[in-house]
């Protein structure tokens, strides 16, 4: 038997095995992560190296969660929302999910252990998968926004793969924090421009009710449509500068326990801040890092959100364009990648129910993939925090 026929028969074997319905664990994706050593197997011509194969986030197993593998449970899912027709300046964030995945390839090069957080999310026992992308039309924003809500909700409304354990401090049994009392998985969405957070928050609301939001961005994104874009039509009024205005009006945001970080945008006038207050957000200016440092910023965030459920939305433009140039509306004077990563690690212990990273537009990146690497590394911190903190509350007896 030559190598070719060996490969063909191996392929046939895999397909036949997969169809009997009992061998899902043996199929490619769920046991796909084999680190730190590259594995050579009979019939394979290359190692399972980080630079080879199909690119998923951090080389996590690919599960077709929205279609034929919707029966496979998970604890944390990455999913792309390739939508960028809500942008005001540079388009291109529809390529964000693909770019972030490319930038994430080396996350598990040495195994994936997070030294400062003392956790390896990839072998923490949680089942973490990449669900691919939500199908999103580029021709109709209203339809696309509904597609994103439906796709996210479909994942979020499932039950998590791993049962909720006991509280690490008290040892007591944990119970879910969701409205329906079920233990739901977490979804990490790869944007896409920031408009996607409106349908994502609608989905989050369906599982958790009004949510505290931690929002890292150089811009407020609570602008009134009359101020941002001028709102020539009902649909144009929903864009990447106004989605929080709408989310707040719909009651999706927990007023007073939400906060922006890294703000440094110019305004139409000081009244934009009054409008932002009304939308329920507190603000941390980017320049505050010079006076209160990362520790002061972490303290402000934790004081604002408390210990309830929280949704985390990260605009890559919160990072300075020196470190992350590939974004829709870059603003100088931002935080370094290191500073944002430190601040995210400072969220350790918070109940982050889901998260996103948005506005990565790879066409404006350097050849060294600065922005997509920054996005992936930022998500590594988020994933580590999630892996350490179960989404439960202590049951009092
Ligand atoms: Mn934004």
Side-chain-side CA neighbours of residue 92 (13 Å): 15
β-pair partners for 309: 351
> Is 221 annotated for ligand binding?
yes
pLDDT given at position 48: 63
pLDDT given at position 352: 98
Q: Please tell me the distance between residue 313's alpha carbon and the centre of ligand 1 in angstroms.
A: 9
Report residue 86 CA to chain centroid gap. 19
CB 259 within 8 A of CB 304: yes
Report residue 389 CA to chain centroid gap. 16
pTM of the entire predicted model: 0.89
Q: Where are the domains of the chain?
A: 57-391
pLDDT given at position 21: 38
Q: Please tell me the distance between residue 341's alpha carbon and the centre of ligand 1 in angstroms.
A: 18
Q: Please tell me the distance between residue 327's alpha carbon and the centre of ligand 1 in angstroms.
A: 10
Which residue's entry shows tokens 């401090």?
169
Tell me the CATH number for domain 57-391.
3.40.800.10
Which residue's entry shows tokens 């918070």?
350
Q: Which helix (H) or strand (E) holds 351?
A: strand 351-358
Which residue's entry shows tokens 């870059």?
330
> Is 215 annotated for ligand binding?
no
Task: Give the dihedral sign, CA 148/149/150/153.
Answer: positive
Q: Please tell me the distance between residue 248's alpha carbon and the centre of ligand 1 in angstroms.
A: 15
Q: How many angstroms separate the CA atoms of 292 and 302, rounded?
A: 14
- What is the Rg, in whole angstroms, of the alpha carbon atoms belonging to the chain? 21
pLDDT given at position 203: 98
Q: Please tell me the distance between residue 217's alpha carbon and the centre of ligand 1 in angstroms.
A: 5
The H-assigned helical ranges of 38-140 are 96-103
Q: How many angstroms separate the CA atoms of 67 and 55, rounded?
A: 19
Tens place of pLDDT for every residue, the chain, 397 residues?
454 444 444 443 333 333 333 333 433 344 444 444 444 445 544 456 778 778 999 989 899 999 999 999 999 999 999 999 999 999 999 999 999 999 999 898 878 999 999 999 998 889 999 999 999 999 999 999 999 999 999 999 999 999 998 887 888 999 999 999 999 999 999 999 999 999 999 999 999 999 999 999 999 999 999 999 999 999 999 999 999 999 999 999 998 999 999 999 999 999 999 999 999 999 999 999 999 999 999 999 999 999 999 999 999 999 999 999 999 999 999 999 999 999 999 999 999 999 999 999 999 999 999 999 999 999 999 999 999 999 999 987 6
Dihedral of CA atoms 385, 389, 393, 397 in degrees, nearest 10, equals -150
Q: How many angstroms separate the CA atoms of 382 and 376, rounded?
A: 10
């Amino acid at each position: 038997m030559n190598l070719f026929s060996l490969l063909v028969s191996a392929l046939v074997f895999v397909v036949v095995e997969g169809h009997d319905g009992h061998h899902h664990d043996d199929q490619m994706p769920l046991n796909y992560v084999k680190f730190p050593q590259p594995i050579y197997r009979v019939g394979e011509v290359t190692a399972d190296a980080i630079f080879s194969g199909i690119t998923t986030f951090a080389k996590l197993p690919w599960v077709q969660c929205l279609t034929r593998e919707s029966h496979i449970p998970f604890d944390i899912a990455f999913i792309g929302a390739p939508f960028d027709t809500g942008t005001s300046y540079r388009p291109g964030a529809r390529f964000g999910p693909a770019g972030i995945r490319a930038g994430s390839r080396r996350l598990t090069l040495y195994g994936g252990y997070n030294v400062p957080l003392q956790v390896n999310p990839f072998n923490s026992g949680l089942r973490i998968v990449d669900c691919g992308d939500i199908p999103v039309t580029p021709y109709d924003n209203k339809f696309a926004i509904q597609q994103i809500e439906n796709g996210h909700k479909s994942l979020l409304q499932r039950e998590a793969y791993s049962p909720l354990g006991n509280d690490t401090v008290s040892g007591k049994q944990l119970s879910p924090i969701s409205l329906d009392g079920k233990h739901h998985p977490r979804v990490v969405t790869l944007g896409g421009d920031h408009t996607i957070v409106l349908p994502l928050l609608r989905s989050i609301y369906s599982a958790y009710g009004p949510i505290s939001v931690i929002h890292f961005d150089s811009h407020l994104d609570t602008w009134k449509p009359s101020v941002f874009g001028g709102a020539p039509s009902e649909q144009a009024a929903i864009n990447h500068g106004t989605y929080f205005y709408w989310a707040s009006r719909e009651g999706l945001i927990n007023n007073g326990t939400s906060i922006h970080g890294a703000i440094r945008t110019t305004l139409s006038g000081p009244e934009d801040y009054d409008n932002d207050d009304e939308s329920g957000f507190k603000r941390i200016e980017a320049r505050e890092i010079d006076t209160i440092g990362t520790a002061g910023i972490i303290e402000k965030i934790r004081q604002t959100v408390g210990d309830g459920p929280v949704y985390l939305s990260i605009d890559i433009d919160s990072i300075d364009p020196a470190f992350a140039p590939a974004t829709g509306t870059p603003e100088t004077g931002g935080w370094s990648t290191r500073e944002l990563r430190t601040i995210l690690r400072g969220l350790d212990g918070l109940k982050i129910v889901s998260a996103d990273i948005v506005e990565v537009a790879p066409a404006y990146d350097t050849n060294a993939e600065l922005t997509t690497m920054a996005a992936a590394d930022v998500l590594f911190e988020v994933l580590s925090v999630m892996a350490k903190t179960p989404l439960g509350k202590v049951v009092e007896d």
